[in-house]
Amino acid sequence: MPAAGWRTLFLLLLLPVCCCGEEECVLGLVGRPISLSCFLPQLLTSVNLSIAWRRGGEVVLRSVWREDGEVEEWSVSRFSTPQDASLSGDFSLQLPSVAASENNTHFSLVETSGGNSSSELCSVCLQTAASFSTPLLQREESKRGGKAVFSCESSGGFPAPTLSWLINNKEYPPPGAVTTITTPHPDTQLFNISSRLTVNLAKDVGVTCIVENPKLNETLSSSSYSVNRSTVHNRASEAMWIFSTVLCVVVGVLVLTGVAYQIHLDRVHMRKKHDFPKLQSRGYKRRSPDKEEEEEEPMKPEKKESEV
């Protein structure tokens, strides 16, 4: 009796230490499979071994390995243990798909051979997390002049994220300028977050929306710079195109005007020459055929220039 008493006392003292020392939290990604580790080689010697995995107080898996080699397994939600558990001592619980609602859930393995449950031989706490979508940043049409309204949305993450805004990469918006709503999905418990920033801004100011999921060390951000840079670039090239076209036209007109004026001067000069008495003899010689040629020749380049 005293020996058994001491042993019980020893076990009672040891139990909480074992329980809490062995407890560890693992992070499961929502929608992905996970294995909750549990290695118990000491169980391999048991005859008619039976174990149970519990989620909180609820039994989610039962396995029995009979003396004759028969194996019975029952579980919820396609939970399982490795096929060769009774040979390898690996009794890890395999979840095919983690749900966000399983955050902060305590899983434990107990031995149930002989009808009574043992203490928790394995104990694992599960925390869950899911990535958010890249924030969708949009500039809304502002109804009042001088105000810029930006909206930022991100969805499907877990747990609830933090959302912050940055103006020109360095300033935080003034308090009251931001309205943020976080909505959990009633079934999946995944969060959507949406935020609006209303602020007095100069036209070309840039804003950044930052969504952080500390559980995953994940920081996602979208910035209005990249969007607007392309717009500015497009505009710039468009402006360059218009400018060069206008320049070409102006230069062309100037050249034509210059040429026309030159031709005009030439003609005036010619007439003057023609009227000069001492050149009259030459003028006479050339008279009818030459005159027409000379009259027409200057016309030809003019026509060509105007066509160009």
Cβ-proximal residues to 103 (8 Å cutoff; 6+ apart), any chain: 126, 127, 128, 158, 159
The reply on whether position 56 binds ligand NAG by CB under 6 A is no
The reply on whether position 46 binds ligand NAG by CB under 6 A is no
Stretch that binds ligand NAG, among 72-80, 168-176, 223-231, 235-243 (CB under 6 A): 223-231
Largest pairwise CA distance in the chain: 158
10 Å Cβ neighbour count for 254? 10
Segment 185-204, which members bind ligand NAG (CB under 6 A)?
Answer: 185, 192, 203
> What is the rounded distance in angstroms from the CA atom of residue 154 to the CA atom of residue 194?
7
Stretch that binds ligand NAG, among 1-9, 111-119, 171-179, 243-251 (CB under 6 A): 111-119
**Is 64 exposed, middle or buried (CB count within 10 Å of its CB: 0-12, 13-18, 19+)?**
middle
| Shortest reach from residue 216's CB to ligand NAG, in Å | 5
Position among 1, 2, 202, 231 found at the interface with ligand NAG (CB under 6 A): 231
The reply on whether position 227 binds ligand NAG by CB under 6 A is yes
Stretch that binds ligand NAG, among 36-44, 113-121, 246-254, 262-270 (CB under 6 A): 113-121
Q: Which of 98, 106, 151, 143 is nearest to 125 (CA)?
A: 106
The reply on whether position 183 binds ligand NAG by CB under 6 A is yes
First to last CA, the chain: 120
Q: Which is nearer to ligand NAG, 162 or 262 (CB)?
A: 162
The reply on whether position 70 binds ligand NAG by CB under 6 A is no
Backbone angles phi, psi at 197, to 5 degrees: -115, 120
Position among 45, 217, 281, 288 found at the interface with ligand NAG (CB under 6 A): 217
Tokens 């983690």 locate to 98
Position among 67, 187, 293, 297 found at the interface with ligand NAG (CB under 6 A): 67
The reply on whether position 45 binds ligand NAG by CB under 6 A is no
Are 210 and 161 in contact, with CB atoms under 8 Å apart?
A: no
| Shortest reach from residue 185's CB to ligand NAG, in Å | 4
Q: Which is nearer to ligand NAG, 134 or 257 (CB)?
A: 134
**Is 153 exposed, middle or buried (CB count within 10 Å of its CB: 0-12, 13-18, 19+)?**
buried
10 Å Cβ neighbour count for 306? 10
> What is the rounded distance in angstroms from the CA atom of residue 140 to the CA atom of residue 130?
29
The reply on whether position 159 binds ligand NAG by CB under 6 A is yes
Residues that bind ligand NAG (CB under 6 A): 27, 47-48, 66-67, 103-104, 114-116, 127, 137, 139, 155, 159, 183, 185, 192, 203, 216-217, 224, 227-228, 231
